[in-house]
Amino acid sequence: MARNNRRSTIELPASATRWIFIVAAILLAVLDVWLIFWVPNDGSKSPMTISVVTFFLIVLICGILSMFMSRKLLEEMKTPGPTRTPEKAVANAMALLPVPPLGVEVVTRDRIPVLSPAAEALVARGRRIFYESVVIHRRLIWYLIVANCTIALVGLGFGESSPLPTKFTMFLLAAAPLLPLVANPQKSQNTLTYLGWALLHALWAGLTLFVAGAYIVALAESVHEGRFHLTAVVPSILIGALLFVYVQRLTGAIERLRCEVLSHPPLRLLFLWVFGPFERINSLFVGLGALWRCLGTLQLLQGGAMIGTLGSDVFHYLRGRARQIIALTPEQVEAKISTFQQAPHRWMCMYSTNMLLCSDQSWRYAVTTLLRDTDLVLMDLCGFSRKNAGCTYEIGQLIDNIDICRFLLLIDEATDLDFLHAALKTAWEGMASDSPNRQPDCGSIQLFRLEAEYVEDTNGPDRHGRRLSLAAAEKNAACVMQLLCAGVTRVRK
């Protein structure tokens, strides 16, 4: 009976929200029609007004729905239920090795250990793949620019004006040479650099398809009117040939990059963090995520401000499938983990970021299960204090299940170091009998001190008047990347 009551409390709001979404869509359609046909236009209003207004209204509605959904998901996640963790075999007490002394090493930017040749090669491979993924877009952008200029000159030679939108084309022509100055893929390796080049590529590709469509329409009209002039035939044939070459170059470059990515087995990185503001996750995705996803998958539990922010979650909620978003039982945890994408994306050639949203009674099972099948663990303890009991449990699981050379802890000025050392000492002394760290040469636990990534800016997007410094985030990401690669390539003597 209790289970049925919980189901009704979360599905009824989803149904109501679906109707709100439908009504909002109808209102947006009416608004667009009104803007097109009934609003006087003396030539000063841009035709982009309608699409811009609609876009911002859709974003506003999605934001409201996301806030509403996150509250409902939090209620569902806190429903009481049995807590279960995977059972572990007990080792023979006579064969136990003694617990070695605990060693803790604080690493900073200027104190990064010297990398082994294998670690240096792994870091270089990740950077090379990221650079090549951006260069694909850059090369094809220049190809499209040359192609469109060639088509325009051919059209002028036949006395026809080019169908290129003048203002929009000038904007793209100005953006193309300026973008390398602010987003050089060799120096600025972050997610925004990749997205900037990919967006500019998409805009040029769309503009080229628009030009091709305009020439095809002109050719069809000439054929329909019974006149067959070279002014329509030659540009149409030429742009068709240029588009064919473009597709061949695009698919060939993607296939070569994909082969490079698949030439080595993927490395699975599990990210654990202190649930809270979105800024830490934002920094992870912008900095380290851009490089690491060239080498392997990134896996993490959703929590804090991330709950309800994914578009897929919103659509599941609107379709009345809220229960499919949260893994409430160990069986659901196993099922969701089995669906994680482990292959690189077909076109972007980057590995996926796999996320799992658990309830209060299933997250421990999820953490222990993910630790069984991961190569590395990165735990962000920025802001860690006594109130983060969940992170204390995860620290114990790390020491019990993961070789300390294969996990890295992140700290900052907000981390309670005294409590962190106490938590590490307690977990170390209570180490599991079959822990891989019951070795005399297990080494020291590494704590990397992050430099501040958010700077004061009264106009910044952060609610505290701060903005993300890309330079600081990239420097931190570069150091973390080196430490992770050093750990995964370390060979115990």
Cα separation, 1 vs 5, whole angstroms: 6
Cβ–Cβ contacts within 10 Å for residue 425, how many?
12
pTM of the model: 0.79
Q: What is the pLDDT of residue 491?
A: 60
Q: With beta carbons less than 8 A apart as the criterion, state whether 298 and 292 touch.
A: yes
- Bridge partners for 358 per DSSP: 327
Cβ–Cβ contacts within 10 Å for residue 339, how many?
7
- Of residues 138, 149, 13, 163, the one with CA closest to residue 75: 13
What would you report as the CA-atom Rg of the chain, rounded to the nearest whole angstrom? Answer: 27
93-111+267-488: in CATH 3.40.50: yes
Share of the chain above pLDDT 70, in %: 68
Cα separation, 195 vs 260, whole angstroms: 21
CB-neighbour burial class of residue 350 (10 A; exposed 0-12, middle 13-18, buried 19+): buried
Task: Kindly report, residue by residue over 219-273, the tens digit of the pLDDT.
Answer: 777 766 666 666 667 777 888 899 999 999 999 999 999 999 999 999 999 999 8
Q: What is the pLDDT of residue 12?
A: 32
Which positions of the chain have pLDDT values less than 70?
1-97, 157-162, 223-232, 276-278, 303-324, 456-465, 491-493
